Amino acid sequence: MHSWLDMSRPGTVDISNILSVCRVGDALDLTLLKEMFGYFIGENRRRMIAATEAVDAQDRNTLQQLAHTIRGSAAILGAGYLRDLAGAIECDAVAGDLQQLRDAVSAMDHEFSRVRTTLREAHPDAWSD
């Protein structure tokens, strides 16, 4: 994987942009925040499963597309380390070593679990599982 990436710390999430979108005046719209978290978690849970299946099937193009989508989703949410892991997979998907890609997908899935835990702990009132 690429050593040039400036990865954030594992498990960290900067949701300040999401929180600003979910504010109405001084109040936080918990319904909207819950919807945004739910969409992020649901879609990326599906993508993580699909990424594992793609690497196991040696479907490099699908893996690259999934990693690209996960990278964008993580960037919007403020999950920098997840974004960077997905970006590295996106760059390496076409020509990278399959075992390294499997390991990278596993690491990305693990980081996704950390992000979910961070979100749940930071805003339990906006959480549904």
Q: How many domains does the chain have?
A: 1
Q: Both tokens of residue 32?
A: 């909207």
Does a structural domain hold residue 78? yes
**CA-CA distance, 92 to 126, in Å (whole number)?**
35
Q: Choose between 68 and 10: higher pLDDT.
A: 68
Residue 10 lies inside a defined structural domain of this protein: no
Domain assignment of residue 62, yes or no: yes
7 or 92, greater pLDDT: 92
Q: What is the pLDDT of residue 6?
A: 47
pTM (two decimals): 0.89
Ordered DSSP codes for 67-129:
HHHHHHHHHHHT-HHHHHHHHHHHHHTTTS-HHHHHHHHHHHHHHHHHHHHHHHHH-GGG---
104 within a domain of the structure (yes/no)? yes
Q: Determine, yes or no, domain membership for 97.
A: yes
Any idea what the CATH number is for the domain that residue 70 is in? 1.20.120
**Is 67 part of a structural domain of the chain?**
yes
CA distance 53 to 112: 17
Check whether 14 has a pLDDT greater than 80.
Answer: yes
Looking at residues 22-41, what average pLDDT do you find?
92
Mean pLDDT of 26-54: 95
What is the structure's pLDDT at 129?
Answer: 58
Residue 54 CB contacts under 8 Å (≥ 6 apart), including other chains: 60, 62, 63, 66
How far apart (Å, rounded) are the C-alpha atoms in residues 38 and 126? 9
Q: What is the mean pLDDT of residues 11-27?
A: 87
Q: What is the pLDDT of residue 100?
A: 96
Residue 6 lies in a domain: no
- pLDDT at site 15: 86
In this structure, which amino acid lies at residue 62? T
Q: How far apart, in whole angstroms, are the C-alpha atoms of residue 51 and residue 72?
A: 15
- The answer to whether residue 4 sits within a structural domain is no
pLDDT per position as a tens digit, 60-107: 999 999 999 999 999 999 999 999 999 999 999 999 899 999 999 999
Give residue 93's domain range.
16-126
